[in-house]
Amino acid sequence: MTRTTHFAFFLLRDFSHLAFSCALEPLRIANLVSGQPLYRWTLLSEDGKTATSSNGCVTLVDGGMEGQRHLDRLFLISGLHVQDHCSAPVLAWLRRERVKGTPLGAICSGAYVLARAGFLDGVETAVHWAYHDLFEEEFPEVALLRNVFAAREKIITASGGTAAADLMLHLIGRDHGADLATEVADQMVYNAVREGSAAQRVSLQSRHGMRNAHLMKAIALMERQIEEPVSPSLIAEELGISTRQLERLFGRYLNSTPKHYFMELRLHRARNMLLQTEQSVTEIAMACGFRSPSHFSKVYRGFYGSSPVAQKARLG
């Protein structure tokens, strides 16, 4: 008889209900279509009673952090405000589980908890794209990927949302064959199953229907230089084209200018950091290439309609 694999899903407060469903349902369907108990699962939370997702739904769980016997994999699933729910008891429990040899995994922002526990240094990690700026600032030793999932390491991670389904289909295929994984995907009416190496976000090339190599290289250069911005003329020089030619490309494909587009990139990163980190406005200003906090505040207010300080105060 086929051995049953036992997964536990630890649900942190404000967990992503979408990611949770996408992680659990492929396992249920695998049992259904195979006619065998290939998988079973246990739901856990910090209080051992319930877990509330970011959409307000309350899920009854099977238990808390202690008393769990052998698990084939313990997955953390979180979502919004993960920093606030990454408590000392949770970190201590995870460290005990790791010492016991429990294989770990994380879905959506759950990788943040594992990084805080010190488990992800040098480990290829997938986390939701909205948390990439936070990781780069707080956990520079993590080998952050922009992929939908990372399953080559002992600790496996999925970036969230439907990427959880991609990861579970990958595990089903690995354990029980590609035919079963395909049958599960068909039952889910999921005909765009992605490999782990797939990108999380729709590329600019796909979004705008553009295939201009100079423009793509210019944007990649901007993304690398957010902390120390360079002028459009230097970008054009790096690409071997004129500044005027660079401006025409941004106007044609993005209805913007190189200067304005670069500023938007920096402000988007600043907003992510304001929402996700405890760094001061001054530190965020420096990290996003602004020469002074006052200049940063002026530009930020003009773009978002409120100051960085007000943004932080609303979160407090």
- Band of the pLDDT at 276, cuts 50, 70, 90? confident
101 with 214, same domain: the answer is no
178 with 217, same domain: the answer is no
pTM over 0.85: no
pLDDT for the residue 212: 81
194 part of a folded domain: no
pLDDT for the residue 277: 76
166 with 271, same domain: the answer is no
- Band of the pLDDT at 99, cuts 50, 70, 90? very high
295 part of a folded domain: yes
40 with 135, same domain: the answer is yes
120 with 69, same domain: the answer is yes
198 part of a folded domain: no
180 with 211, same domain: the answer is no
122 part of a folded domain: yes
Q: What is the CATH number of the domain that holds 81?
A: 3.40.50.880
150 with 238, same domain: the answer is no
Last residue within a domain, chosen from 160, 187, 214: 187
208 pLDDT more than 80: no
Q: Which of 21-25, 185-189, 311-315 has the lowest mean pLDDT?
A: 311-315
161 with 15, same domain: the answer is yes
Are β-strands 73-77 and 39-44 bridged in parallel, bridged antiparallel, or unpaired?
unpaired
Q: What is the CATH number of the domain that holds 263?
A: 1.10.10.60
Average pLDDT over residues 9-21: 97
Which residue range(s) make up the domain with 217? 204-315
Mean pLDDT score of the chain: 90
21 with 127, same domain: the answer is yes
Last residue within a domain, chosen from 187, 214, 238: 187
9 with 109, same domain: the answer is yes
180 with 231, same domain: the answer is no
Last residue within a domain, chosen from 187, 220, 253: 187
Domain count, the chain: 2
